[in-house]
């Protein structure tokens, strides 16, 4: 098939808002863009297990421990599911992990922040998963079929994650003075990094151009960020938490909240590897992966011997 | 005849095994050699903690002092725990983890099979659920024993080492004291002495098929029936109980 033909059938599908499927012809750049985005998404799910995993053994009740374990297990499941999604585009999980380790592939910046107290587990579920949902809901309409379907499935679980996080915060705000302070402190530390999860302002977002044309991205960074802020402010107020932004106020004309300036210098610093936990997260992932090599070799050797 | 206190202690034994083993398994989260195994370990941890919750809740009711499952999990000291020592030992490498899981899950499979017919309806109900879980844990670890035992030279060496590490803790699994005997007599608890030969029958062929030699040990460790533990338990508790101890008035 020649290039013009590829382009036209691909473009026809996009124009009609039909999904692109693995066997369809697609431009190389489209494929590359998706591999980058979906593998980054998969890595984020997996690296995100670390900050929350940090509190499993210290969860304050048997119920809390089970909910947290189940939540982290879901995230690992999302990772698996997304690795398979990316594999439909012709890359192996092994290659993706390799790219993560060499720094070629990224993961969400948010997981380079530490989970310092139990309230952080509440804040992560409520704010980080809350932000992820906003993004993932819009991706349910992304043009690549397997990715869109993965998002539908994943979003169902994400809303449970968001609720359990909010429940932790709610309980702490109903609790002792120390618990309330712990909750507010977590809020103060996680609010701004959560806003950064949506990426740079539309005016300086380097990858967006083609992503919109190809209908991979359906809503802009600023639109999604706004949606997150508008739904979250109310939730914070309901339980008595203060949003750490003195410029935050309701804008009657725009019918949404105005917010203060995001610290993009911090964003760039963390993206470029100097966040509080970048090194820790990668070191852990590489160490575990390397330590598991003999297990994978044994499993492969056994499978090979028994396939005969 | 079974005393009230004997039943309470027996429930702590059942609950603490789940709680402490579940704690160790939960440490493996995001430490698996492959993502699939990471998720499997989390599942196992969840099964154990769920079981602990059920037994400890009932233990609190039997004790009759208004203590909840969380009070019992988070506010008892190290001399008041009755889990088998093997549950609290560190995970070690993946082969050690699988060796212990085979030992423990095969024991639990037999124990809960026996407890399914307990005259105590609550114990029988919890056991009915637990026996299914234990069977799955057993099959999972058995399959890994085959893979590791027959995989590579290294995996075989590591698996043998795992069984060597844990074997001296297998005697305790079947220990009976006067209270256990009374409970077994009344059809409430299981007669663990009967389970021992069954357990060997279950485990021996798996070890043989995995090219693993049964370790020679000249002493079996003991102590947990009297609340005497390894040094590891104290560290597990200080981590697990940290928030409850540091903020005694807080509800989470
Ligand atoms: Fe997720
Ligand atoms: Fe999530």
**Interface mutation target, options A289, A295, A299, A301, chain B, most CBs of B under 10 Å:** A295
Please report which residue ranges of B89-120 form alpha helices under DSSP H: 94-115
Can you list the domains of chain B with their CATH numbers? Answer: 3-212+222-246 (1.20.1260.10)
Burial class (CB in 10 A: 0-12, 13-18, 19+), B161: middle
- Which residues of chain A make contact with B147, given a CB cutoff of 8 A? 298-299, 302-303
- Which residues of chain B make contact with A283, given a CB cutoff of 8 A? none
Place of tokens 């107290």: A117
Least distant ligand from the CA of A154? 1
End-to-end C-alpha distance for chain A, whole angstroms: 40
Copy the structure tokens of residue B46: 């969840």
- Which residues of chain A make contact with B155, given a CB cutoff of 8 A? 294-295, 297-298
Least distant ligand from the CA of A70? 2
Query: Cβ contact (<8 Å) for B70 and A61?
Result: yes
- Would the pLDDT of B53 be above 90? yes
- Would the pLDDT of A235 be above 70? yes
Taking every pair of Cα atoms in chain A, the longest distance, rounded to a whole number of angstroms, is 72
Those residues whose C-beta lies under 8 Å from the C-beta of residue A17, and which sit 6 or more positions away, are A215
Outline where DSSP puts E strands in chain B: none
| Distance from chain centroid for Cα A82 | 11
What is the C-alpha R_g of chain A?
21
Whole-complex ipTM:
0.96
Altogether, the residues listed in chain A come to a count of 308
Percent of chain A topping pLDDT 70: 97
- Which residues of chain B make contact with A172, given a CB cutoff of 8 A? 252
What stretch of H or E contains A286? helix A278-291
Q: How many CB pairs under 8 A join A and B?
A: 136
Mark residue A61 as left, alpha or beta (left: phi above 0; alpha: psi -120 to 50; beta: remaining). beta
- Would the pLDDT of A140 be above 60? yes
Write the pLDDT tens digit of every residue in A192-216: 999 999 999 988 776 667 899 999 9
Query: Cβ contact (<8 Å) for B29 and A292?
Result: no
Query: Cβ contact (<8 Å) for A292 and B26?
Result: no
Least distant ligand from the CA of A128? 2
Distance from CA of A87 to the nearest CA of B (A): 15
What mean pLDDT comes out for the span A249-270?
97
Q: Facing residues of A256 across strands?
A: A251
What stretch of H or E contains B48? helix B35-63
pLDDT, position A205: 75
Write the pLDDT tens digit of every residue in B174-215: 999 999 999 999 999 999 999 999 999 999 999 999 999 999
pLDDT, position A6: 63
């Amino acid at each position: 098939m020649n290039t013009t033909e590829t382009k036209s059938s691909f473009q026809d599908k996009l124009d009609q808002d039909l999904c692109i499927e693995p066997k369809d012809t697609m431009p190389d750049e489209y494929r590359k863009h998706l591999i980058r985005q979906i593998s980054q998404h998969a890595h984020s799910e997996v690296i995100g297990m670390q900050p929350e995993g940090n509190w499993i053994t210290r969860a304050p009740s048997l119920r809390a421990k089970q909910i947290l374990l189940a939540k982290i297990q879901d995230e690992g499941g999302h990772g698996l599911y997304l690795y398979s999604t990316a594999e439909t585009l012709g890359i192996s999980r092994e290659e993706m992990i390799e790219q993560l380790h060499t720094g070629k592939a990224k993961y969400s910046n948010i997981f380079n922040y530490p989970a310092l107290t139990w309230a952080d587990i509440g804040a992560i579920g409520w704010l980080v998963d809350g932000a992820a949902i906003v993004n993932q809901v819009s991706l349910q309409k992304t043009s690549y079929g397997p990715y869109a379907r993965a998002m539908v499935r994943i979003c169902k679980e994400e809303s449970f994650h968001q609720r359990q996080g909010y429940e932790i915060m709610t309980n702490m705000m109903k609790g002792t003075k120390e618990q309330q302070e712990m909750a507010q402190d977590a809020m103060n530390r996680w609010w701004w990094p959560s806003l950064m999860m949506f990426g740079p302002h539309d005016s300086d977002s380097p990858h967006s151009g083609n992503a919109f044309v190809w209908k991979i991205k359906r809503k802009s960074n600023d639109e999604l960020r706004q949606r997150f802020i508008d739904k979250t402010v109310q939730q914070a107020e309901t339980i008595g938490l203060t949003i750490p932004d003195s410029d935050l106020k309701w804008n009657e004309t725009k019918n949404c909240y105005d917010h203060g300036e995001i610290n993009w210098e911090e964003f760039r610093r963390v993206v470029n590897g100097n966040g509080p936990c970048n090194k820790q997260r990668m070191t852990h992932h590489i160490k575990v992966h390397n330590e598991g090599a003999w297990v994978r070799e044994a499993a492969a050797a056994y499978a090979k011997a028994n396939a005969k | 005849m079974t005393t009230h206190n004997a039943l309470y202690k027996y429930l702590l034994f059942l609950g603490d095994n789940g709680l402490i083993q579940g704690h160790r398994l939960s440490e493996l989260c995001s430490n698996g050699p492959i993502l699939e195994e990471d998720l499997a370990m989390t599942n196992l941890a969840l099964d154990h903690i769920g079981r602990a919750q059920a037994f400890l809740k009932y233990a609190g009711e039997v004790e009759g002092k208004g203590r909840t499952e969380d009070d019992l999990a988070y506010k008892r000291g190290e001399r008041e725990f009755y889990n088998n020592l093997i549950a609290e030992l560190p995970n070690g490498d993946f082969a050690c983890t699988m060796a212990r899981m085979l030992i423990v899950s095969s024991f639990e499979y037999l124990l809960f099979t026996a407890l399914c017919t307990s005259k105590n309806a609550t114990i029988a109900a919890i056991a009915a659920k637990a026996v299914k879980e234990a069977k799955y844990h057993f099959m999972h670890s058995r399959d890994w024993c085959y893979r590791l035992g027959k995989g590579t030279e290294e995996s075989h060496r590591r698996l043998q080492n795992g069984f060597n590490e844990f074997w001296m803790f297998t005697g305790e699994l079947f220990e009976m004291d006067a209270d256990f005997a009374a409970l077994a007599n009344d059809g409430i608890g299981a007669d663990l002495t009967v389970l021992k030969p069954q357990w060997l029958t279950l485990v021996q062929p798996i070890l043989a098929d995995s090219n693993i030699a049964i370790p020679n040990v000249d002493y079996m460790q003991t102590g947990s029936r009297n609340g005497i533990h390894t040094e590891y338990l104290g560290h597990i508790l200080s981590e697990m109980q940290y928030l409850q101890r540091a903020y005694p008035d807080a509800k989470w």
